[in-house]
Structure 1
Amino acid sequence: MLKTVRLLRSTYYYNLSVEGKQKSKPKGGKPRGYSLNKKNQKVCDDLIKEFIIESIDGDAINYGYRKITYHLRKYYNLIINPKKVYRLCKELGILKDQRVIKPKVKKTIAANRIITGSNQLWEMDIKYGYIHGQDKFFYLLNLIDIFDRSIIDYHMGFHCEAKDASALLRKCLIRRNLFEEGVNKPVIRTDNGPQFVSYKFSECCEEIKVEHERIPVKTPNKNAHIESFHRILEDECFKNNEFETYAQAYEAVNDFMVRYNDRRIHSSLGFMSPNEFYTLHFRENLTGIEIRV
């Protein structure tokens, strides 16, 4: 029969031996966008980049990507291989001059301040959300006025880059009628994420004449108000929803932001909502309120 159909015996028996066996998945392909930690939790790549920046600003300043890999495994409990760390370091542009790492832009350390009104100090930071149905992270960049606790505006999407942070800052200034020349503008405080240490964000701050300061590495207490908001967001929005699509996540986040700004009361604001406190502060000219940061 094999001679009749002109099929080699080796081919015939080989196909019999592999018939029914599951083929292995092809190697390579698009990166997943996250790694797992030792608790089997997903950690997105942008957060891992922040860990790398923290590392080279601290004990790992003279490490190559292989040593950084072991550093991430030991101190951040990540399950990650050197090839991925190499790729992330390359995206950050720190491979060639890693042994003499310097900040790309001039770094202004966050100063101790006494805040007595709105639009004096704004904090900006990123919160990561997860869409179970698509196995993807999304990014939520929020900007808060630490005096009245309002989330002036936010950016949400599958990507969050320096251009998005710059656009959000401009939008918030316009919302508060602070974009014109000659108007006193707030100080912007951020952490050392790649979006905020870039030339593009630095150039934006210089162009619109806004002072940008960054907190020291591993001092989230210096960004306490936005970190506190992110805890509220996690407890009251993300934990109560297991998103199947981006549309579901967007709708849930938008509804939460409206409720937070307009209806959610804060004991630190005299049991008023942020927007209610902001309006009352400017209409009745409250005095004697000080916030030390």
Structure 2
Amino acid sequence: MSYGYPVTKVLRILQLNKSTYYYNINKDSNTKLLEEQNIVNKGGRPISGLSKTNNGKVISDEQVKEYICEIIESKGLCYGYYKITIMLKRKFKLIINKKKVYRLCKELNVLRSQRQVKPKHPRKIAQNREITKPNSLWEVDIKYGYINGEDRFFYIASFLDVYDRNIVEYHMGLLCTAEDIVITLKRALMKRNLYNKETGLVIRSDNGPQFISHKFEDTCKELNLEHERIPFKSPNKNAHIESFHRLLEDECLSRYEFKSYAESYETVSEYMKSYNKVRIHSSLGYISPMEFYQKILDGTAKSLIVKL
């Protein structure tokens, strides 16, 4: 081309794209220096090293870095690069995008570490079973109650043994977190003298957030318990605890208009005691769950096969 040959003809002979040719001849020495220092990607658009404000004032990248440090250090803010971009636009009137701010933060080594996403526990679907003894399968679920006097809800989470129909343990409170479920499960195991023992006990639940949490899953694994979850929209797979909650609703919660949480707590506690110790079940031979469980311990209870 220095001898007067047309650029197009030379590039066609060399099979070289025009964009590649013009990209290389237009890069200034400063850009090439930045490439040698691995500050830019050689395959992308060259970095200007400059930004502008709303009124057209030119600001170097080094000055922008100082602004970034000022934003982070002035009030100890734990901002990510996206929020830093917003602050640069608001406080310093910069015309700048989040990708450039990300690059500058990376050069400053001030990028916040990414949240580590824990792998999900594999979901084990509830299986059809035949239960022939207590402490083989416990169903757990959460029921809501309403306090008229305080205009708020409360929660009841119960563990029910499907063989002897006892509510082994329950949690009642204005909140019901995975931690509450774990504590209730441990209390239930202690009541039955099963804590930290090889029991073969299966815990069956629905897919509520408390039961799919890492906290609950890790606890089951730690305590050598098998946790299985029913398929979505199939409450019949959790029929025994659903049946109990219907009784709880009909015989307790719907009969009262609670004025306070204290009143609801006292009422529900009394019902739980009555359910376990007094209320008779036809499937148990018309005796209470507690009486049936005692007969099991004494060896005088009739044998049952619970299919589910």
User: Same fold judged by TM-score > 0.5?
Assistant: yes
One-letter amino acid of the counterpart of residue 280, structure 1? K
Map 1:1-293 to 2 at 5 A.
Answer: 104-181=120-197, 183-284=198-299, 286=301, 288-293=303-308
Q: Is the 8 A contact 1:215 1:222 kept in 2?
A: yes
**1:117 is paired with a residue of what secondary structure?**
coil
TM-score by length of 1: 0.63
Q: Deviations over 1:50-80 (max 9, x none)?
A: xxxxxxxxxxxxxxxxxxxxxxxxxxxxxxx
Once the two structures are TM-superposed, the CA of residue 288 in structure 1 deviates from its matched residue by 4.0
Letter of the structure 1 residue corresponding to residue 224 of structure 2:
K
Aligned residues: 191
Partner deviation per Cα, 1:15-72 (whole Å, 9 max, x = no partner): xxxxxxxxxxxxxxxxxxxxxxxxxxxxxxxxxxxxxxxxxxxxxxxxxxxxxxxxxx
Which string of whole-angstrom CA distances, capped at 9 and with x for unpartnered residues, describes residues 249-277 of structure 1?
Answer: 00000000011000000111100000000
CA gap of 1:221–1:137, structure 2 versus 1, over 3 A, is same
Provide the C-alpha distance between the structure 1 equivalents of 2:292 and 2:170, rounded to a whole number of angstroms: 20
Task: Name stretches of at least 5 consecutive residues in structure 1 with no aligned partner.
Answer: 1-102
**Which residue is 2:82 aligned to?**
none
- TM-score (norm. length: structure 2): 0.60
- Residue aligned with 1:212, SS: strand
> Aligned partner of 1:224: which letter?
A
In 1, Cα distance between the equivalents of 2:194 and 2:265? 28
| SS of equivalent residue, structure 2 residue 139 | strand
Q: Deviations over 1:179-225 (max 9, x none)?
A: 133x3141000000000001111110111110000000000000000
Structure 2's unaligned 5+ residue stretches are 1-118
Q: Could you tell me which residue of structure 1 aligns to residue 53 of structure 2?
A: none
Render the CA deviation track for 1:134-157: whole Å, top value 9, x for unaligned: 110001000100000000110011
Contact 1:130 1:243 survives alignment (8 Å): yes
SS at match of 1:194: coil
Cα–Cα, structure 1 residues 285 and 107, in superposed 2: closer, same or farther, change >3 Å? farther
- Distance in 2 of aligned mates of 1:249 and 1:141: 15
In the TM superposition, what is the alpha-carbon distance from 1:285 to its structure 2 partner? 5.1
Q: Which has the higher contact order (CA 8 A, sep 6+)?
A: 1
Asked if the contact 1:179–1:208 (Cα under 8 Å) also holds between the matched residues in 2, the reply is: yes
> Is the contact between residue 178 and residue 185 of structure 1 (CA under 8 Å) also seen in structure 2?
no
Provide closer, same or farther for how the CA distance between residues 288 and 257 of structure 1 changes in structure 2, counting only shifts above 3 A: closer
Q: Contact 2:196/2:224 (CA < 8 Å) preserved in 1? A: no
- How big is the shift at 1:104? 3.0
Partner of 2:267: helix, strand, or coil?
A: helix
Instruction: Describe the shift of the 1:180–1:204 C-alpha distance in structure 2 as closer, same or farther (beyond 3 A).
Output: closer
Letter in structure 1 aligned against 2:292: F
Cα distance in 2 between the residues matched to 1:281 and 1:145: 13
Question: Rg larger in 1 or in 2?
Answer: 2
C-alpha deviation, 1:226, in angstroms:
0.2
In structure 1, distance between residues paired with 2:127 and 2:156:
26
Aligned partners of 1:180, 1:209: CA distance in 2, in Å? Answer: 7
